[in-house]
Amino acid sequence: MQDRPTARELLGAVREFLEADVVPEFDGVKRFHARVAANVLAIVEREIAGEEQSLLAEWERLARLLGVAGAAPARLEALRTAVRGLTETLVGRIREGEADREPFGRVVREHVRETVREKLRVANPRYLGG
Amino acid sequence: MSGSATAGPNTSITLTDLDAALAAYLAGQLGAAASVTGLRRLPGGASRETWLFTLATPDGAAERLVLRRDPPGHVIETSRRHEFLLLQAAAAAGVPVPRVRWCEDDPAALGAPFFVMDYVEGETLARRLLRDAEYAPARAALPEQLATALARVHAIDLGVPALAFLARLPDETSPAAVELARYESLFRALAPEPHPAFELALRWLAARLPATDRRTLVHGDYRVGNVIFGPEGLRAVIDWEMVHVGDPMEDLGWLCVRAWRFGADANPVGGLADRARFFAAYERAGGRRVDPAAVGWWEVFGNLKWGIICIMQMQTFLAGVKSVELASLGRRTAETELELLDLTEGA
């Protein structure tokens, strides 16, 4: 267990430094890149805050969709690998044409939409319109 | 496209050498002494270089010019000679473009093939166009001007010998199928993660290829961001790198891709106009009859293509080009995925 500040708090400190002290010092391309850098840190802050919970929800949706029994892996790295593996299975079934037919197509699109929204809640929440 | 404001590591000729070599070349062309000052590389362009400089001659004349050069030592698909010929053809068709001046294929002159064109003063940043009060007149004028210029692009005569280098599609081949296959293979080769949203879009697109016998020159990257504008409106259409022969509806669809609206979603055409107004202006200017369903297909395809380009840019970062901008583009892929779901749901 590391001492405070947490990883998130440290990232926030660097991001605030970039926004308040670095961005105003530059013009043009460098200013733009400093803004992008601050935005990238904000993405990482949001990602580490909710990654485990959102991966777990994604695993459960995929398991339901693909008829996979059992429990989600307990460790984060194994959970990431499992979600990726199930998503590859889903992609295979889409490419076979299974999602062209209902009702499977509808539940696939619902799952994909929720997964994309989850990515955007991390990458660019403003894109979701608030 | 991202790039560096300084010459990259692949530049085998130093800035001073380039200065002197360019002055010597231009003196030879002009048959008079020529001096080159203020040479600097403009940001952007990983696959080609753009340099700005001032040419002065003994009669006291000075003009600002732009040098477009292949990066020395690079084997790339585009050709400066082709871009030069396209700019000439576009100018002849009445499209506002920078006037081209000299073109040199011999790499001995400046280390790589290049051409020189007039510098067009103005702005290219779409965000500035869509937000700054200064550009309100440009916002009003641009829909009509972009539609007219695009109609002229599509009227460029493909039969002239200068454009014989453009690959032609066999009559029975669908331009949509060709472009879809091109980007699907890029996606399969480059994407490190599975993308179910792209898989759904690929199937949607493959099932709805627009049937057409329209064949024109297609600009391939026609959008706000690739035009130079002033407060009054359009000054030049630039970036003729992705030109090909295909369905003219492709350019109209690409212009409607959500990323080029920069948040101004009420105006689907580049954040500037609604579709009906733009299509009507394009037809009035002599463009082909607009097939809204085909444009819709190309808009869906365009969002997919932009998503795949985001992955390509991110792969450039993963391959070792250290750019926070390229890195961040990987996380913009999800924006195109949501747009694809919205556009194809129930359609």
Query: pLDDT tens digits for A13-62?
Result: 999 999 999 999 998 778 989 999 999 999 999 999 999 999 999 999 99
Per DSSP (E only), the strands in B32-189 are 35-41, 49-56, 62-69, 100-104, 114-118
A114 in a structural domain: yes
Question: What distance in Å separates the CA atoms of residue B127 and residue B107, rounded to the nearest whole number?
Answer: 38
pLDDT tens string, chain B, 347 residues long: the values are: 333 333 344 445 666 788 999 999 999 999 988 999 999 988 765 567 889 999 998 888 899 999 998 876 655 555 889 999 999 999 999 999 999 999 998 888 998 889 999 999 999 989 899 999 999 999 999 999 999 999 999 999 999 999 999 999 888 899 999 999 999 999 999 999 999 999 999 999 999 999 888 899 999 999 999 999 999 999 999 999 899 999 999 999 999 999 999 999 999 999 999 999 999 999 999 989 999 999 999 999 999 999 999 999 999 899 988 889 999 999 999 999 999 999 999 76
- CB contact under 8 Å between A120 and B334, yes or no, is yes
A28 in a structural domain: yes
The pLDDT value recorded for residue B157 is 96
- Rounded to a whole number, what is the distance in Å from the CA of B264 to chain A's nearest CA? 12
* A39 chain-B contacts, CB cut-off 8 A: 328
Please answer whether residues B83 and B115 qualify as being in contact, where contact means their C-beta atoms are separated by less than 8 angstroms.
yes
Please answer whether residues B236 and B100 qualify as being in contact, where contact means their C-beta atoms are separated by less than 8 angstroms.
no
Enumerate the domain spans of chain B.
15-118, 126-344
Work out the angle at residue B96's Cα, subtended by the Cα atoms of residues B91 and B99, and round it to the nearest 5 degrees. Answer: 55
Question: What distance in Å separates the CA atoms of residue B287 and residue B282, rounded to the nearest whole number?
Answer: 5
A1 in a structural domain: no
What is the CB neighbour count within 10 angstroms for residue A130?
4
- Rounded to a whole number, what is the distance in Å from the CA of B199 to chain A's nearest CA? 7
Q: pTM of the prediction?
A: 0.91
**Structural domain of residue A40, as residue ranges?**
7-128
- Rounded to a whole number, what is the distance in Å from the CA of B198 to chain A's nearest CA? 9
Q: Among 3.30.200.20, 3.20.20.140, 3.40.50.2000, 3.30.930.10, name the CATH number for the domain at B15-118.
A: 3.30.200.20
Q: What is the fold of B126-344?
A: Aminoglycoside 3'-phosphotransferase; Chain: A, domain 2 (3.90.1200)
The pLDDT value recorded for residue B347 is 66
The pLDDT value recorded for residue B49 is 84
The pLDDT value recorded for residue B7 is 39
**Closest Cβ–Cβ partner in B196, B328, B338 for A39:** B328
- CB contact under 8 Å between A112 and B200, yes or no, is yes
Helix axes B292-318, B275-284, angle to 10 degrees: 110
The pLDDT value recorded for residue B3 is 36
Tally helices (H) and strands (E) across chain A.
Answer: 4, 0
Question: What distance in Å separates the CA atoms of residue B342 and residue B335, rounded to the nearest whole number?
Answer: 11
CB-based burial, B178-214: b 16+ in 10 Å, e otherwise: ebbeebbebbeeebeebbbbbbbbbbbbeebebebeb
The pLDDT value recorded for residue A71 is 95
A66 in a structural domain: yes
Residues 6+ apart with CB under 8 A from B305: B179, B183, B254
Question: What distance in Å separates the CA atoms of residue B163 and residue A30, rounded to the nearest whole number?
Answer: 40
Decide if B6 touches A, using CB distance below 8 A.
Answer: no
Q: Give the total number of structural domains in chain A.
A: 1
